DNA sequence: CGGTCGGCCCGCC
DNA sequence: CGGCGGGCCGACC
């Protein structure tokens, strides 16, 4: 399991960097074959109501994180259907076993949190 | 189901 | 400092 300290190799100085670190840390932990919404990632990172920031960070970061596992609260890829980005994200998700119904993912089935690893995350955060 | 409307809050002019 | 818009969200029609 990834230890928290490994994700913080570069200690954040500003609040912005801190937020970014926390968000990327949560995204990194989303289990393969699961998805999580922007808003949920924000909440888990301790940044409620910052869904848009999650999007901004995923767009700009160069860090290798499983960005494809973040979708909107309706279980849909945010990129326009037909765009390269949309196809790319969908292909990555399908490759890890996530099924689509039309353009939608059933969050009750593939939403992160129904597989136990989320409990580990919360436990880790509580220990800090 | 799809469309709109605020609300959100920071990042970037 | 003031405005604007974003890989969003929930409520509502």
Through-space separation of residue A117 CA and nucleotide C1 C1' in angstroms: 45
Query: A92: Cβ under 7 Å from strand C?
Result: no
Q: Which has the higher per-residue pLDDT, A1 or A28? A: A28
Q: What is the pLDDT of residues A17-74, one digit of tens each?
A: 888 889 999 999 999 999 999 999 999 998 888 999 999 999 988 899 999 999 999 9
The token pair at A126 is 């509580």
Determine the Cα–Cα distance for residues A77 and A88; give it in Å rounded to an integer. Answer: 10
Whole-model pTM: value is 0.86
Which residue shows structure tokens 């970061």?
A61
Mean pLDDT, residues A116-123:
69
Subset of residues 26-45 in chain A with CB less than 7 angstroms from any atom in strand B: none
């Amino acid at each position: 399991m990834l230890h928290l300290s490994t994700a913080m190799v570069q200690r954040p100085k500003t609040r912005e960097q801190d937020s970014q670190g926390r968000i990327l840390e949560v995204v990194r932990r989303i289990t393969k074959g699961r998805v999580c919404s922007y808003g949920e990632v924000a909440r888990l990172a301790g940044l409620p109501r910052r869904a848009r920031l999650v999007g901004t960070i995923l767009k700009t970061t160069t860090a290798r994180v499983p960005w494809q596992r973040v979708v909107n609260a309706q279980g849909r890829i945010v990129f326009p259907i037909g765009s390269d980005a949309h196809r790319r994200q969908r292909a990555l998700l399908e490759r890890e076993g996530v099924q689509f119904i039309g353009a939608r993912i059933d969050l009750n089935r593939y939403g992160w949190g129904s597989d136990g690893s989320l409990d580990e995350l919360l436990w880790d955060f509580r220990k800090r």
